[in-house]
Structure 1
Amino acid sequence: MRAELLKNPVFAMAAEQFDQVADFLELDDDIRERCKWPKRLITVTVPVRHDDGSTRVYFGHRVQHHLSRGPVKGGLRYHPDVDLGEVAALAMWMNWKCALMDLPFGGGKGGINCDPRTLSVGEKERITRRFTMEMIPFIGEEIDVMAPDMGTDEQTMAWFLDTYSTHAGKMVPGIITGKPINLQGSEGRIRATGHGVAFLASRALNKLAVPVRDASAVVQGFGNVGLHTALTLSSYGVEVRGISDVTGAVWNDKGIDVQALSRHADTTGGVVGFDGADAIDPEEMLCQPCDILAPAACGMVITCDNASKLRCKVLAEGANGPTTPEADAILAERGDIFIIPDILANAGGVTVSYFEWVQNLQRYRWTEREVLTRLETMLEAAFTRVLQFAERHGLGQRVAAQALAIQTVAEVKSQRGMFP
């Protein structure tokens, strides 16, 4: 199984990051091994009857990295490239993210290998309900709490909640987060990840003594994270000059009207063709001069091929694993870009998911202002811890964030001991 996981380039990247930090922390071999490998790797078949009467079997995965600090927390994605190795890597990163933010969770991640763009609403509902039933022996509000991710949304979570609650014979809102508000979801959850990326990017500019108002930004990705990163940056007075998605990229030196672009994308299916900006090659867009570059879509987009060409002051990683280890080495040698690593930059989503879970357990609701204020307070605290650790040990922000997180998990593993 180890060899199979390491064949996946995303898991291999996460494992390489772990090994580097474990060497720095000088972890004992027994603790090192227990922290690195996931506790459970679950794969199930998901047979679904399609609208045309045919039946197709999909493969669903769920990886629970550790339950040492509490139930696992992490998203559920629907994408044709989902496989067990990728899910295991994302679960590992989520484990570090929860530890860094001091949330009482371990890391989890799930996914179904399907293309949601080709499925009808009914087919997506049947896939979700069948996958939920297959997962019931392994989940619970004190065991594993899922959330939306790529290709899923609050409607997916509503189907998941209904299936689980029907099986339990009662409403169990804490089984899932990212639910609709009227099903005991949390205010602020949809915008949380992007809001956090923008908030931390603005704090980085403060550290660099760069005025936030009239600063410039480029956002790669215009899904939920990219959209709300761009919207929040715009609300701060930042000019978002470049935005891309799977259809292409657009550019306006004077700043893009993000609300208008969102309406255009909703209508046409993408950013291409927006009359408030010019077309630009997506790869060229990443290398345009800007104060903030926010990769907020998929992994491995900052590579050894473009890392030396970046012209940003702040790299705010809204996506998971957007920078390869080879690119990291180039950026470290350059030393002129302030990196906000993914496990910190995009931690807003899981933090507000934690808030939703707490509200569900208490049967009490917070206002959006309360949610976002609490989020910003926790992000600020984590940001400060990372910067202080980095300065104290002469490290880059990525290694500092990972070291703080892995050290936290390792300490809990050591304190709890190992059951014979």
Structure 2
Amino acid sequence: MSGVITGERRSADTHSARSGGGAFVPEATPLDDARAQLAVATGLLGYSDGLHAMLATPRRELTVAVPLRADDGSTMLFTGYRVQHNFSRGPAKGGLRYSPGVNLDEVRALAMWMTWKCALLDVPYGGAKGGVAIDPRLHSKAELERVTRRYTSEILPIIGPERDIPAPDVGTDEQTMAWMMDTYSVNTGYTVPGIVTGKPISLGGSQGRASATSRGVTHIALAALKHRGISASRASAAVQGFGKVGRDTARFLHQAGLRVLGISDQYGAIHNAGGLDIERLCAFVDETGTVMGFPGAEPLDRDLLLELDVDLLVPAAVEGVLHEGNATRVTAPVIVEGANGPTSPAAARIFADRGQLVVPDILANAGGVIVSYFEWVQANQAYWWNAAEVEAKLEERMLSAWQQVVDYATQRTLSLRTAATVLAVERVAEAHRLRGLYP
């Protein structure tokens, strides 16, 4: 096992537009989408070209080589990134993902979205994001530990509890954060629990952090259904993705009374017109590693899951899955973005024209950063809240932001996405204005 892994950005079926004949035509990248959303917001706000350029450009970027001594003694080389988009409202904050498709432009887009997300939820952070272009499924735990520690060592000059606080994302978890915290602490000379969030509870993690994003998505989904006059007890849902966000979202929706008709993961999708037993499905996935083959459900083409006849669709996997090629076949009246950037601008226009309600990612999946903020505060104070306190504070922040966005959108006749982005951009720009330009 040797050589350099760079990886393709992502497979064609997760970021392309499909024509009626089945041919795939590439669409805009996530960075194109993020920049387009910002351009709309700054245009509506009447900002100058100079201010727009400042908001569009990351403050700091770092690309690092991450060598790995594999278990068999050979050497492999991976590329890692950390992008800090904005510091105006506080230290940078954002996840670390391990995926073979990670590249600098993707990380730039995710860092920008993180800036707007933090501002929208009034969390005192700027946005950041990191990634290593590696497929964690192909490596042992020991190899992933070495990659994590080397990557952390390479980005040490720009991270810290007052500078940039990483968290788990695609392909990483609380164990990854424990390794990062230990590496940073060893180099500092003392334990620094506030350097990362999403840590194990025994190392200073917060109660409720693991399921925070999913709880936030569920709070927003229930509010969106109510906004549309759809009763949760009579509603149906489909969830794309059964990982960090999708799994618990499906579980919480099921507990709230919705019938979850379809679920997908990286291997395929399943469907049951009467509703899936989510608790049994979770146990099945724990045993087998996939939703495929679950008794009492029929297999379904993964792409067709997005087109199921349901009241609520939650794309909770990767970006770019709702695009011009499939948007006209998506029938759900309410779409709540559990993933970052799952809807292209072209798809968003189609949904708006058809009257479908799309709750944007920077609002819908902000539960993770809210509880990460709680974890950071607790670490800095060395005082820990119980799960009930965390979940109550999370619900209050999510529903408050939801109402602000709905009111803003209604008053100005904007889509929820545009309203959320404008609100967030305005808050970041105001921080820029108050701080002034140095020197």
TM-score of the aligned structures, taking structure 1 as reference length = 0.97
2:215 to 195, 199, 206: 195
Unaligned runs of 5+ in 1: 1-6
CA distance in 1, matches of 2:320, 2:378: 35
Q: Using the alignment, how far apart are the partners of 2:274 and 2:201 within structure 1?
A: 36
Deviation of 1:8 after TM superposition, in Å, equals 7.7
1:79 aligns with 2:92: no
Q: Does 1:343 align with 2:362?
A: yes
Shift, 1:266, TM fit = 2.1
Task: Give the one of 109, 112, 129 matched to 1:92.
Answer: 112
Match of 2:342 among 291, 297, 322: 322
Q: Mean Cα displacement is larger for which, 110-119 or 309-318?
A: 309-318
Taking the aligned partners of 2:321 and 2:52, their CA distance within structure 1 comes to: 29
The residue matched to 1:261 in structure 2 has which SS? helix
In 1, distance between residues paired with 2:379 and 2:236?
39
Partner in structure 1 of residue 35 of structure 2: 15
Q: Distance in 2 between matches of 1:305 and 1:195?
A: 31
Matching residue within 151, 155, 161 for 2:181? 161
Structure 2: how far apart are the matches of 1:284 and 1:40? 40
**Paired position in structure 2 for 1:138:** 158
Residue number among 281, 284, 295 corresponding to 2:301 in the alignment: 281
The CA distance in 2 between the partners of 1:33 and 1:224, in whole Å, is: 34
Task: Answer whether contact 1:8 1:86 (CA < 8 A) is retained.
Answer: no
Partner in structure 2 of residue 419 of structure 1: 438
Alpha-carbon separation, structure 2, partners of 1:177 and 1:259:
28
2: CA distance, partners of 1:283 / 1:51: 37
Report the Cα distance in structure 1 between the residues aligned to 2:233 and 2:384, rounded to whole angstroms.
Answer: 33
Runs of 4+ aligned structure 1 residues displaced above 4 Å come to none
Query: Does the 8 A contact of 2:351 with 2:357 survive in 1?
Result: no
Q: TM-score under structure 2 normalisation?
A: 0.93
- Report deviation, 1:131: 0.7
Cα displacement string for residues 106-135 of structure 1 (whole angstroms, at most 9, x for unaligned residues): 000000011100000000000000111111
Instruction: State the Cα RMSD in Å.
Output: 1.1
Aligned residue for 1:47, secondary structure, equals strand
Is the CA contact (8 Å cut-off) linking 1:233 and 1:240 kept in structure 2? Answer: yes
Amino acid at match of 1:67: F
Q: CA deviation at 1:235?
A: 0.9
Query: Which amino acid letter does the alignment assign opposite residue 252 of structure 1?
Result: N
Query: Structure 1 234/387 Cα, relative in aligned 2: closer, same or farther at 3 Å?
Result: same
Q: Could you tell which deviates more after superposition, 259-268 or 179-188? A: 259-268
Q: How many angstroms apart in 2 are the aligned matches of 1:320 and 1:222?
A: 15
Instruction: Kindly tell me the number of residue pairs found equivalent between the two proteins.
Output: 413
Deviations 1:227-253 (A, max 9, x none): 011011011011111000111000111
Q: CA deviation at 1:282?
A: 1.7
SS at match of 1:17: helix
Code of the residue aligned with 2:374 in structure 1: it is F
Greater mean alpha carbon deviation, residues 248-257 or residues 280-289: 280-289
Task: Return the alpha-carbon distance in structure 1 between the equivalents of residues 155 and 395 of structure 2.
Answer: 33
1:4 alignment counterpart: none
CA contact (8 A) 2:316 2:339 kept: yes
- Counterpart of 1:307? 327
1:125 aligns with 2:145: yes
Distance in 2 (alpha carbons) for counterparts of 1:210 and 1:19: 34
Deviates more, 1:307-316 or 1:170-179: 307-316
- Identity %, equivalent residues: 50
Unaligned 5+ runs, structure 2 = 1-26
Which of 88, 94, 104 is the aligned partner of 1:68?
88
Q: Distance in 2 between matches of 1:25 and 1:220?
A: 34
